Amino acid sequence: MIALLLSVLAAATPLLLAATGELVVERVAVLNLGVEGMMLMGAIAGFAVAHETGSLPLALAAAIGAGMALSLVFAVLTLTLQANQTATGLALTIFGRGFSALVGAGYVGISAPTLPKLLGIDPMVPLALVILAVVAWFLARTHAGLILRAIGDQHDAAHVLGYKVIRIRYLAVLFGGAMAGLAGAYMSLAYTPLWAQDMIAGRGWVALALVTFAAWRPFWLLVGAWLFGLIMYLSLYVQAIGVPIPSALLSALPYLGTVIVLVLISRDGRRIRLHRPAMLGRPFHPAG
């Protein structure tokens, strides 16, 4: 029972880390679909640096830096140059897949130092919860969080009040990149401590779905991440105990689960509209 709980928590952690970052990004009304690409960059950067230097702090810093670097490209294109956010996010994922595969070609099948466990628990598991709690507190209880939400709901008014819409959006996008990079590092240094091409396997997209599932509310993100962690764990568990279902079909289960959950959650359009940042995905042109 404890083992099950820990497995679910571990499977939920990369989703939770990435989704917490994306939640902040979407709360300032920016839609970055490049989470998958940023996670891959974080995974390979963390793994490569851990292997080359043996230093885990450096590896984590590299992973965060890689995620932020890619998110900076997104920010320059969409916030400064007003490019289409959907297309730019896709470009991030295409680039991240290619770049991580090229750099990672030399790291397949070798090992790197892994994150140490405390009392059988990966320190990243509680860390993800702490970050989520801080983000929840920041959004709900601080002045800066209020400004952030105001920009997401009415950027023109926030601009007129003198808040730096573009600058704050840059910071939020960079935070999202850092979290995605960290989530990637958790994958390659703790969850499956190896590098394999495309090892994120759609988790970035699941994290995006989670933000919608949670209707942009931090607490529900936690519920969603655990639910998906459970689905992912079950598809592995059912294979392990030898249920006669082909493994390829079981591997499709988490994706099917995501579709079903999305459908259930989106049925109530009013609830989505009520919570969605009103300016989500819309570009902001400062007048003058």
Partner 1 sequence: MLRLQARGQPSRFWAWASPVLALALTALFSGALFAAMGRPPVLTVSTFLISPLFAPEGLSALAVKAAPLVMMGVGLSLAYRANIWNIGTEGQFTLGAIAAAGLALALPDAPMGLIVPLMMIGGTLAGALYALIVAGLRTRFNANEILTSLMLAYIAHYLLIYLVTGPWRDPEGFGFPQTAMFSDAAAGPRLIEGSNLHLGLIAAPVVALIAALVLGRTVLGFQFRVLGQAPRAARFAGFDENRLVWLAMAISGGLAGLAGMFEVTGTQGQLTPASAPGYGFTAIIVAFLGRLNPAGVLPAGLLLALTYLGGDAAQMRLGMSNAITFIFQGILLFCLLGCDVLILHRVKWR
Question: Which of the ranges 10-18, 165-173, 217-225, 254-262 carries the binding residues for partner 1, by CB under 8 A?
Answer: 254-262
The one among 251, 275, 278, 282 contacting partner 1 by CB under 8 A: 251
What are residue 118's DSSP bridge partners? 121
Provide the token pair at 216: 């942009």
Applying CB under 8 A, does 159 fall inside the site for partner 1?
no
Residue whose CB is less far from partner 1, 129 or 276? 276
Applying CB under 8 A, does 249 fall inside the site for partner 1?
yes
DSSP 8-state assignment for residue 106 = G
d(CA 112, CA 78): 36
Residue whose CB is less far from partner 1, 117 or 167? 167
Question: Which of the ranges 53-61, 77-85, 111-119, 135-143 carries the binding residues for partner 1, by CB under 8 A?
Answer: 77-85
Residue whose CB is less far from partner 1, 20 or 212? 212
Question: Which of the ranges 15-23, 123-131, 226-234, 260-268 carries the binding residues for partner 1, by CB under 8 A?
Answer: 260-268
| Nearest Cα to Cα of residue 107 among 163, 50, 63, 59 | 50
Residue whose CB is less far from partner 1, 42 or 96? 96
Applying CB under 8 A, does 242 fall inside the site for partner 1?
no
Q: CB–CB of 103/48 below 8 Å? A: yes
Residues 262-281 that bind partner 1 (CB under 8 A): 262-263, 266-267, 269, 272
Cβ 67 to partner 1, closest distance in Å? 15
The radius of gyration of the chain's CA atoms, rounded to the nearest angstrom, is 19
Region of residue 233 (phi > 0: left; psi between -120 and 50: alpha; otherwise: beta): alpha
The one among 117, 259, 278, 282 contacting partner 1 by CB under 8 A: 259
Within the chain, residue ranges assigned H as helices are 2-27, 35-53, 56-75, 85-104, 124-141, 143-153, 155-160, 165-186, 203-213, 218-240, 247-251, 253-266, 269-275
Cβ 214 to partner 1, closest distance in Å? 14
Q: How many residues does the chain have?
A: 288
Residues 40-69 that bind partner 1 (CB under 8 A): none
Provide the token pair at 265: 């959650």
Cβ 94 to partner 1, closest distance in Å? 4
Residues 84-123 that bind partner 1 (CB under 8 A): 84, 86-88, 90-92, 94-99, 101-103, 105
Cβ 137 to partner 1, closest distance in Å? 28
Residue 253 DSSP SS3: helix
Q: Which residues of 8-22 are buried (b: 16+ CB within 10 A; e: fewer)?
A: bbbbbbbbbbbbbbb
Q: CB–CB of 278/156 below 8 Å? A: no
How many other β-carbons are positioned within 10 Å of the β-carbon of residue 158? 22
Query: Burial of 219 by CB count in 10 Å (0-12 exposed, 13-18 middle, 19+ buried)?
Result: exposed
Residues 169-228 that bind partner 1 (CB under 8 A): 197, 201-202, 205, 208-209, 212
List of residues contacting partner 1 (CB under 8 A) = 33, 37, 73, 76-77, 80-84, 86-88, 90-92, 94-99, 101-103, 105, 197, 201-202, 205, 208-209, 212, 246, 248-249, 251-252, 255-256, 258-259, 262-263, 266-267, 269, 272, 285
